[in-house]
Amino acid sequence: MGYCIQYHWHTLRIPAEQVSAALAAIHSLYQPAVMAQRGTASRYDPQTQRTLREYRASPLPPGGFTDLIAALQAWAFAAEQQADGSLEITAFLGDKVGDEAVLFEALAPFLDASLHPVIEARQDNDEVWRHTFCNGEHRRVPGKVVYADNYPELFRADLA
């Protein structure tokens, strides 16, 4: 079981000149050594009689993903091609947390940092966090929701 999740997007755009490199970065995630280290799901291989780690995302299709939009869909994300050739990630199509952090780390160097990309996350167990992207790196930053009626001292006007 896992907790359901909601993501709120703040401009995750991959410039046109970075789209091919971002796709290559996703393809590199499917190298067996990378999957063995980073995957959070597992499956039993009856031929080798071993349990193999993999991603919760769709497996790499034969020949690889045709384009970045297809690759992102395999990881449960929607994306739209922009008029200038850039690609904007617009939505999470899943309902539970999977291997998003692995994907975000792979994509971080290719996101347009000038747009200050951020993804805010909230699980149905009230855990909140952000995925931030700065200088080509991804960080998962935990958070808390604070309400004025519980902590009025944090909301005093004279402190602002």
The confidence score (pLDDT) of residue 82 equals 96
- Residue 126 carries which side chain, given as an amino acid letter? D
CA atoms of 20 and 104, how far apart (whole Å): 16
The confidence score (pLDDT) of residue 26 equals 97
Report the length, in residues, of the chain. Answer: 160
Long-range contacts of residues 40-47, Cβ cutoff 8 Å, at least 24 apart: 40/98, 40/99, 41/98, 41/99
* Residue 15, H or E segment: none
Q: Which residue reads 């998003």 in tokens?
A: 100
Number of H helices, E strands in the chain: 4, 9
The confidence score (pLDDT) of residue 160 equals 53
- Nearest 5 degrees, angle CA 44-CA 93-CA 64? 55
- Residue 13 carries which side chain, given as an amino acid letter? R
For residue 99 the two structure tokens come to 């291997």
Write out the chain's pLDDT in tens, 160 residues: 568 889 998 999 999 999 999 999 999 999 988 988 888 787 888 888 888 888 888 888 999 999 999 999 999 999 999 999 999 999 999 888 788 999 999 999 999 999 999 999 999 888 999 999 999 999 999 999 888 888 888 887 765 5
Residue 98's SS3 state is coil
What predicted TM-score, i.e. pTM, was given to this entire model?
A: 0.85
The confidence score (pLDDT) of residue 53 equals 83
Residue 55: other Cβ atoms inside 10 A: 21
